[in-house]
Structure 1
Amino acid sequence: MSPGAAPDPGLAAKVTATTAVLLAALALLRLPAAAEAQLYNNPNFRCPYKPICASYVYCQGPLLYDYQFSGLFNDSKTFVDKRLLFPEEEIVRKYTALKKSRGGELSRAELETFLAENFADGNELIPFEPPDFTSEPSVLGYIQDGQYRRFAAKLNEVWKTLARVVDRDVLENPRMHSLLYVPNTVIIPGGRFTEVYYWDTYWIVKGLLLCDMFDTAKGVIDNIIYLVKKYGYMLNGSRNYYENRSQPPLLIPMVAAYYQLKQDEAWLLENLPVLELEFQFWMNNRMINVKKDGKTYRMAHYSVETCGPRPESFKEDFTLASNLTSDEERTNLYIELKTAAETGWDFSQRWTKTPPGQTESLLYLKTRSIIPVDLNAFLQLNAHYLSNWFFMAGDISKGEYYLQIAEELLTAIDEVMWREDLKSWFDWDNEDGQSRVDFYASNLTPLWTGSYRKAPQEMGKFAVEYLVSQGIISEDGIPRYLGIPTTLKNFGQQWEAPNMWPPLQMIGIQGLDNTLYPKAQQVAYRLGAKYLETNYVGFVRTGQMFEKYDMNQLGSIGGGGEYVPQTGFGWSNGACFEILSRYGHKLRSPQEYPLPN
């Protein structure tokens, strides 16, 4: 319906009738007493926040609970990725009647039968070979080492295995799917991740551009723009159960990467209002006051205040929350878990505040109280781009407005997060009013975004000193690991040591390189060489690329977290192409690991 158009009374009546049927069915559908006791200790308790999404199959309700605790699935994501064979209200009505006829409890066999009759595997993403795929992208010509050139050629072929288009039925019958429709080619990350993910897409786009797949890269960006137009922000991923949750905001840098290469000014200006909409989501929903040394700053944090467990990790969240006694505590934990997922770092000791004497646990997540270095640096960069583009468009008022935001964020990053004594930036604990001085790879993000006022070479010198002080490189600038550690502590979560993640490698490596300080650039090269080598050796051994790697063992995949290691893998491929495009003229592959034919 266009803005200002009169509402359709017929449509309103249909929606009202459908809602009434669904609510009536839900009123009859009751969980077993034990399950209800788990949901609410106090029967009068009501979660004060909005639901994750409107669906009573995918996001909330007893049917979701029953299937996630049925024991039918090893991974909670499996159920919520299924498609419906009948309208949701009909499925809920049938389930209500069946459960009532069985005295309120269904056997495993009955749940299996009902599942087979009413749900099917998603299969909404159809394999597709992008028309602009080329087996000889120009980046290959820059790679001097023969083995690495063959490795890059094989990586290039992986794009075809990750490319999909969304089935039209998702567009025509959106309530029958958790998957959200997007109009262009999708490059999935891989493994269990069979949808668009927000910050993964940045490194996928960079890889596509380096492989001369310009139309595909543009279409991938346009998919995110499509979702921003629909929702007012980019979701964590393209599933309805990711509503009201985002991820690190990198749409604007994606657009910048494409624009800098193709100079498509008409496309940029056409989409500028959408980029502004995405940026304003963060300004309007994720900014809080931060006080330090008598001054108040507006800075960004992650925050997802919705009811209930994450649908894709429902059982895991619910089981963890069962350690808490009050409904308020459980509700708060669910919020913290979803907020930690929004950071992209799910999960990490970076977000916990474990009391002295207690064992490190996600029960102590305090993500909302932490002001992250990387998020504020990303937004500062976004404001900088928006300012430049509005000036280019001739909108001086908006250009100055976003320039002011960029300057205010830059001041906050400098005055709240920078520690001159430690030569680095650090997350800020807004509850305790102090820096969190542990090493996190994200501490280097302002180098990548250029969010500093000192001379770049001076910042490069400081960065090298910081990495030496943390034992990540030697005094001579030699890496002690196979890349940049996520953290230096390991409490069993996947965004911790010993794992290394592609986006953190590229942010650190490119950030160091961008300072133009010779020693920092030398360290960047060495880190890039080490990280590429471990990807390569892993590929030689397995024929696969993985989402994360071990910082100590050459060619070994990373572990930990809520799911088994995933192959594919979109952002790992993109990171390797970025390293090869920068250093391919001098990188040398390990001769003891020849690539099989």
Structure 2
Amino acid sequence: MKHPYSILKLYLLLVLSFSLILSPAQAQQLYRPAQDLGELFEQVQLQRVFPDSKTFPDCVPLSDPGQILQAYEQQKHQPGFELKAFVKQHFRLPPQPDTSFTTNDTHTIVEHIERLWPELTRQPGDNGGSLIVLPNAYVVPGGRFREIYYWDSFFTMLGLQASGKTELIQSMVDNFTHLIQTIGHIPNGNRTYYLSRSQPPFYALMLRVLAQQKGREVLLNYRSALEKEYAFWMDGSGSLSVVNPAHRRVVLMPDGSILNRYWDDNPQPRPESYLEDVELAEQSGRNPEEIYRDIRAAAESGWDFSTRWFADGENLNTIQTTSIIPVDLNALLYHMELTLQEMAVLAGNRTEARQYEKLAKARRDAVLKYNWNAEQDFFYDYNYKTKATTNIPTLAAVYPLYFQMVKRRHAKAVVQKLKADFISPGGVVTTLNQSGQQWDTPNGWAPLQWMTIQALRNYGFTDEATTIATNWVQLNNDVYQSTGKLMEKYNVENLGLPAGGGEYPNQDGFGWTNGVLLKLISMYPELHKITEAEPELQN
């Protein structure tokens, strides 16, 4: 019996082929810092001209990059040449976070977020450089993150929904649709250096939020775009074999089923973390292209970085992301398949609807077969090369519950482990490993609080869900009370310490924190009393 994907294979390939991918002329017009500046880019990053590696890729060249590179080649060996001065002469630095915004010490946290939305909203237009122009307004995370980010935006939309900002949600959905139609997929963010990878596929969930506001029929407007995104994630499925079991983001499992992994098409150092990647490759002793690919694939996952991707469970230089079948990614694609099924029903195409239903069922069965560890009663990532679960406990295990893929006995076992190991004074920790990586303990992140709370609610574990929501809202509010800020991530174990780890300082703003917080407060009226107090800012 053929895998159900084979029935749709030709159709999906045609969809991808006829997508409005950037023409060669359009692609040449895009400024790609690492490629266009060559040795100049490399030296600026390796000599750490800027403290943050993301700064230079976000700079705007003041003339043609080729002319700038030519000037660099002519001047670099001249006496008194200073690289930093050269860069400042030929590039405009990216805009820094607006420091004119100040917290009003009479405002509650909800009022503060409502004031922040305009500060984090960017209007369509071209500021040059590596930024990819979008046609509509959008919300950025904040801090060093000056562009839209894919999976961040779903959680930001939850807050926009609570704020009644339906048209801004519409604008952001339409921006992502524009990216699918012009690029062929939704990149990590709207920067040219993000084009070779995506992020966790939350587009279908964004469409659900929009449908809640405008009616289920609105899904039909985005059917072709979601089909194209699905084709992107499933590219190469028809050519897999026992000899060649993996291609880009798809992997042929031993039983003939197809599951997905994270990937990046460009095995080079990330421009926005160039020095960090080069140093890691040198220190690891591994094939540089191999480690660059795995680093970039982890960036596509959004969990950059976590010990869930490490072969030894401890060290970044053992990263093996492309060998991993992530449980959360495949749950997201299960939901995408079900959304495509619903769209087909709305369009009156019941044959296609049945095919997507079969695809979703096949994926659910494969996740239960490969990602469920019956001995430990928990969902784990699966290493398709070692043919075993990784047995590294993470909050990715809640995704099958979020999408109601499993029976109550599976949910009950997952919740028991969450209660025993993950629920903390400030919410839920991301993993149980304290590695110094930002997607490990003791850090908690807004998106994973939301996924966990909703996962528990889906199976009737309302007390546990309420505990996590209460702890998280209290922590957010306490930090706001003392600092006037909302942060990218939080230390949920030691509430007196800030979150740590990562390749950059903890950022404030912050899109998805604001979004999840507002949504939780709207869901739990009893949490209003936590947030009603006015902040007592420390000097």
Q: 1:471 aligns with which of 421, 424, 429?
A: 421
C-alpha contact 2:125 2:134 (8 A) present in aligned 1: no
Opposite residue 251 of structure 2, the aligned amino acid is: I
In 2: Cα distance, 1:198 partner to 1:484 partner:
23
Q: 1:306 aligns with which of 259, 266, 270?
A: 266
Counterpart mapping for 1:64-143 below 5 A: 64-99=41-76, 102=78, 109-123=81-95
Are positions 1:348 and 2:300 aligned together?
no
Shift in alpha-carbon separation, 1:390–1:584, aligned structure 2, 3 A: same
Residues 141-172 of structure 1, C-alpha deviations (whole Å, 9 max, x = no match): xxxxxx9x93212222111211111434x5xx
Q: 2:318 aligns with which of 364, 374, 377?
A: 364
Q: Give the stretch that moved more between structures: 273-282 or 62-71.
A: 62-71
Residues 180-221 of structure 1, C-alpha deviations (whole Å, 9 max, x = no match): 100111211011001010100000111101100000111011
Q: Give the stretch that moved more between structures: 187-196 or 157-166.
A: 157-166
Aligned length, in residue pairs: 500
C-alpha contact 2:142 2:509 (8 A) present in aligned 1: yes
SS in 2 for 1:306: coil
C-alpha contact 2:470 2:527 (8 A) present in aligned 1: no
In 1: Cα distance, 2:208 partner to 2:496 partner:
33
In 1: Cα distance, 2:268 partner to 2:174 partner:
31
Q: Give 1 or 2 for the bigger CA radius of gyration.
A: 1
Residues 299-325 of structure 1, C-alpha deviations (whole Å, 9 max, x = no match): 000111413200000011111112255
Are positions 1:334 and 2:292 aligned together?
yes
Alignment correspondent of 2:14? none
**Structure 1 residue 514: Cα displacement:** 1.2
Shift in alpha-carbon separation, 1:60–1:466, aligned structure 2, 3 A: farther
Alignment correspondent of 1:287? 250
Identity of aligned residues (%): 31
Opposite residue 475 of structure 2, the aligned amino acid is: T
Q: Which has the higher contact order (CA 8 A, sep 6+)?
A: 2
SS in 2 for 1:385: helix
SS in 1 for 2:131: coil
SS in 1 for 2:54: helix
Counterpart mapping for 1:152-301 below 5 A: 152-168=110-126, 170=127, 176-263=128-215, 265=217, 267-284=218-235, 285-291=248-254, 295-301=255-261
C-alpha contact 2:108 2:531 (8 A) present in aligned 1: no
**Structure 1 residue 354: Cα displacement:** 2.1
- Gaps (5+ residues) in structure 1? 5-10, 20-52, 130-146, 171-175, 473-478
Q: Cα RMSD between the aligned structures?
A: 2.9
In 1: Cα distance, 2:267 partner to 2:70 partner:
23
Alignment correspondent of 1:414? 368
Alignment correspondent of 2:489? 548
In 2: Cα distance, 1:56 partner to 1:580 partner:
42
In 2: Cα distance, 1:63 partner to 1:307 partner:
20
C-alpha contact 1:188 1:195 (8 A) present in aligned 2: yes
Are positions 1:63 and 2:3 aligned together?
no
SS in 2 for 1:461: helix
SS in 1 for 2:40: helix
Q: 2:350 aligns with which of 396, 419, 422?
A: 396
In 1: Cα distance, 2:259 partner to 2:285 partner:
33
Alignment correspondent of 2:504? 563
Shift in alpha-carbon separation, 1:75–1:126, aligned structure 2, 3 A: closer
Alignment correspondent of 1:595? 535
SS in 2 for 1:271: helix
C-alpha contact 1:534 1:555 (8 A) present in aligned 2: no
Opposite residue 429 of structure 1, the aligned amino acid is: N
Q: Give the stretch that moved more between structures: 245-254 or 431-440.
A: 431-440
Alignment correspondent of 1:141? none
SS in 2 for 1:322: helix
Alignment correspondent of 2:6? none
Moved beyond 6 Å, runs of 4+: 124-127
In 1: Cα distance, 2:497 partner to 2:231 partner:
41
- Gaps (5+ residues) in structure 2? 1-16, 236-247
Shift in alpha-carbon separation, 1:417–1:15, aligned structure 2, 3 A: closer
Are positions 1:151 and 2:109 aligned together?
yes
Shift in alpha-carbon separation, 1:60–1:495, aligned structure 2, 3 A: farther
C-alpha contact 2:220 2:346 (8 A) present in aligned 1: no
In 1: Cα distance, 2:228 partner to 2:89 partner:
42
TM-score, reference length from structure 2? 0.86
Alignment correspondent of 1:47? none
